[in-house]
Amino acid sequence: MQTKETYRLPVTIMRGGTSKGVYILESELPQDREAWEPLLLRLMGSPDPKQIDGLGGSQSVTSKVAIVKRSSRPDADVDYTFAQVSVDKPLVSYKGNCGNISSGVGPFAIEKGLAEVRGDITPVRIYNTNTDKIIIADVHTPGGRVEYEGDFAIAGVPGTASPIRLKFVKPSGTLGKGLLPTGNAVDTLEVPGYGPVAVSIVDAANPLVFVKAADLGLTGRELPDELNAAPEKLELLEKVRGLAAVKLGLTNDYTSSAWDTPGIPKMTFVAEAADYTAADGKEIRKDSIDLLSRMMSMQKTHPSYAMTGAMCTAAAAVVPGSIVNQVLSPSADTQFIRIGHPGGILECGVDYQEQGPVPQIDDTFGFRTANLLLDGTARIRL
């Protein structure tokens, strides 16, 4: 398989939710994990803004890798490690998970014989090594094969496909510090050159830092191109994220957060529901959503919404007094929370038990779709 000049790596390219990534069997990678980073950088064509000499798509949402193997755990069918490959830096981050890429793990596991088909709908139990959490993906498998075609649409992806239900079991505390890692529903960060900003740092499926859009001079209706063209706003958002990362113990210096912990916590700003225009020109009405939200991904605006972000948003929504709870529509159904994002509307839900000021989150859930785009062999020049 391997020579001094090249490494030939069997790969599968899949769209998972609103992301696209390369899915790899762990058995095809070097046993030495230190060898993974240079290999994955070359595979994706990083660092290069165009990723012209690799399989990356020049955005954070298309520069992702899922590494999968059969699990030895009694509660899981497969182990899945997520790798976020930076587009413009020589950096691979294993901190945090990607919920959209997670939606492709179930179909991939079935395709590769790592999970057995169990009727028309096959539940694939996925252990995510990044967050030490279990995800159950319900994959449609009529006739004993993965069904990709269907009539279910998700905002940010053209056309329709077969729905995949993702349930994140006991998602709180991926950092080992509980749902509220600081112990508070709201903290105040002193942002250099700006002033105090109230935030909620919530950890469910992935840690997120939430702030009210108005507190940063934003509306919550911004579209990616608009925000990405405002470097002063990007800098402010990264400052807030970096300060939250310091509070979480992920870095000692907020100014180096883009290197030390580029993917988590995920920066998110929210606002009360309002009419807005999505990136595709569709008009989203106030009464069709329960809140406005925008996420950042690797220091740029996420073109739609991260699935783990939706899971954390759902969990934050039921924390009394949190930033999300404050802007959430009073009539919102926690089994069907509608998030208005740049690509449209994402629906998600949460099962929880009220236990004083901090609820116990039993699970969070939502629907995604996936599509197998290519099975082949990548020739990687080392």
8 Å CB contact between 210 and 316: yes
The pLDDT > 90 percentage for the chain reads 96
Residue 364 lies in a domain: no
One domain, residues 149 and 288 = no
- The 10 Å Cβ neighbour count of residue 313 is 31
Residue 179 lies in a domain: no
Q: Residue 79 pLDDT more than 90?
A: yes
8 Å CB contact between 330 and 318: no
Q: Residue 252 pLDDT more than 60?
A: yes
Residue 213 lies in a domain: yes
One domain, residues 164 and 193 = no
One domain, residues 92 and 219 = no
Q: Residue 110 pLDDT more than 90?
A: yes
Q: Average per-residue pLDDT in the chain?
A: 96
According to the model, what pLDDT value does residue 357 have?
86
331 CA to centre of own chain: 27
Which residues, listed in sequence order, are joined to residue 164 by a DSSP beta bridge?
A: 368
Q: How many domains, the chain?
A: 2
According to the model, what pLDDT value does residue 12 have?
98
pLDDT band of residue 126 (cuts 50, 70, 90) is very high
One domain, residues 89 and 193 = no
Q: Residue 265 pLDDT more than 70?
A: yes
According to the model, what pLDDT value does residue 200 have?
98
Tell me the per-residue pLDDT of 61-76, one tens digit each, with 9 for 90 and over.
999 999 999 999 999 9
One domain, residues 46 and 122 = yes
Domain that holds residue 115: 6-171+369-381
One domain, residues 125 and 195 = no
Q: Residue 2 pLDDT more than 90?
A: no
CA distances from 285 to 153, 245, 324 (A): 18, 34, 19
Residue 101 lies in a domain: yes
Three-class DSSP category at 14? strand
Q: What is the mean pLDDT of residues 339-358?
A: 94
One domain, residues 339 and 375 = no
According to the model, what pLDDT value does residue 5 have?
72
Rounded CA gap, 367 and 119, in Å? 19
One domain, residues 209 and 339 = yes
Instruction: At 297, give phi and psi (nearest 5°).
Output: -140, 115
Residue 42 lies in a domain: yes
Residue 250 lies in a domain: yes
pTM of the model: 0.92
Q: Residue 320 pLDDT more than 80?
A: yes
One domain, residues 165 and 253 = no
Residue 83 lies in a domain: yes
What CATH number corresponds to the domain at position 276? 3.10.310.10
pLDDT band of residue 4 (cuts 50, 70, 90) is low
